[in-house]
Amino acid sequence: MMDAFDRFGLLINDRVVKTPVAIASMAGIVDAAYLLERADSIGLGFMGGYSIDGPTMEAAKAVTADGDRKEFLPDDPVAELKAQMALMGTSDVIPGINLRGSSPESFSSIAKALGDSVVYEIDAHCRQPAMVAAGCGEFYLKNPDKLAAAVRALKAGGVTVSVKIRAGVSEDDRKLAEQLWRAGADILHIDLMDYGTAKIRQIRNSCPLVLIANNSINTFERMRDMLSHGADMVSLARQSNERTLSGLDAAITRYADEEGWYNSPKQLCRGGDIRSLTFCCMPVKECPLIPTLTRIGLPREDYIQMKLDGVTETPLDTGKQTCFGSLAWCCKTSSPCMFRDMTLKQSGISRKEYMRLKRDLSDTIMGRIFHDVPSDKRG
Ligand SMILES: Cc1cc2nc3c(=O)[nH]c(=O)nc-3n(C[C@H](O)[C@H](O)[C@H](O)COP(=O)(O)O)c2cc1C
Ligand code: SF4
Ligand code: SF4
């Protein structure tokens, strides 16, 4: 039996994520009790949203005034959040709190009060007019510098930061993702609306953050679609019932145990994201590889060296009879190839292990592509 880190390789807030299924916040509904009732099937859960300062607490009251929407309306958000975090106790679900705040100071003071045992999620998603007028929710998507300032305020407190966004609202989701990464965010939680896989791929290609795909991801087919285009996790809100959550958890666990890489990308020429460079061969023919390298500004020689360095002293550093002399250049197991499979057999590498090694190579490639952001460019 594999442990969760071997299976999914996911760490959030220095804790192993036991399954890439999360619960997304629903104001007035998702609290610690809600997460604990579903704890067997989720790895991460966002309580809230909670309004944490004067303007947003007033907005929350206004939102509930017509009686259609629920909100958590504690008089003392810090005391309430402490109580909710205490209820999570020793649960193996990583807790997150979705917060509506209207200034960097609101975020930094809540982080100071609550400490680093929880993931702080900035709500840049809510489109209720009162919230937007208070300077949070979607307001941040139209004012990305203010959102980046909120991220920096939280990061100054040494905590893990997620940003919940709605796709298609900011001027350019790719630029926003890059800006939030440079500001220090750890996680981007994306309500994809109707944009689907093309959007998650764009964002994957713009930043190395942990990506959580959200919106109607209620079937395994949809989940795998998101994972194979760049998502690390998926989250559910409206359909976060035990039956759906446990079905997704069981299916992705089985898939990971059989295939070796739970969120393996499609090959680049089949619409894969940047991680799929792990499956690409030498840049010698007319195919999407060369334009991709040009787009990301990676010289061919650097790409070649990066892949060769990435497999040095690993089991992939073999394969004289393959097209380019090393498994570094070999395709995904879903593409049939007797030369690759013969090499794997001779080297005693199972197909599942091969995919896990390709995942490691992809991590190395991602690290190299997005490494060393110059400090003068941060935020
Ligand atoms: C009743 C309700 C309340 C919500 N409240 C919040 C919130 O406070 N903060 C937030 O970021 N998203 C909130 N959302 C958005 C959800 O987290 C999620 O992004 C959206 O429902 C799409 O995911 P789903 O298709 O799995 O429901 C809310 C959604 C619903 C239905
Ligand atoms: S190098 Fe191979 S896998 Fe990559 S895009 Fe070209 S044909 Fe597809
Ligand atoms: S040997 Fe097979 S798997 Fe490897 S690059 Fe050639 S076709 Fe692809």
pLDDT at 298 exceeding the cut of 70:
yes
- CA pair distance 329, 128, nearest whole angstrom: 50
Whole-model pTM: value is: 0.96
Is 340 strand, coil or helix? helix
What is the whole-number distance in angstroms between the Cα of residue 286 and the centre of ligand 3?
16
Would strands 44-51 and 94-100 be described as parallel, antiparallel, or unpaired?
parallel
Tell me the pLDDT tens digit for each residue of 35-93.
Answer: 999 999 999 999 999 999 999 999 999 999 978 889 999 999 999 999 999 999 999 99
Taking CA atoms only, the protein residue closest to ligand 2 atom 7 is 287
- Contact indicator for 203, 178 with CB cutoff of 8 Å: no
Q: What is the pLDDT of residue 378?
A: 26
**Cα(205) to centroid of ligand 2, in Å?**
17
2 pLDDT band, cuts 50/70/90, is low
Please tell me the number of Cα atoms within 13 Å of 192 on its side-chain side.
27
Measured by CA distance, the residue closest to atom 2 of ligand 2 is 280
> Up-side HSE of residue 140: CA atoms within 13 Å toward CB?
29
Average pLDDT over residues 18-44: 98
Nearest CA to ligand 1 atom 1: 26
Distances (CA, A) of 177 to 65, 141, 147, 195, 304: 34, 11, 11, 16, 27
Q: What is the pLDDT of residue 32?
A: 98
Q: 213, 232 in Cβ contact below 8 A? A: no
* Ranges 41-50, 187-196, 230-239, 365-374: which has the least confidence: 365-374
Ligand 2 centroid to residue 199 C-alpha, Å:
21
Which runs of consecutive H residues, i.e. helices, occur in 260-331?
289-295, 300-311
Q: Can you tell me which atom of ligand 3 is nearest the CA of 321? A: 1
Atom of ligand 3 nearest to the CA of 335: 3
- C-alpha 241 to ligand 1 mean position (Å): 14
Q: How far apart are CA 57 and CA 29, in angstroms?
A: 17
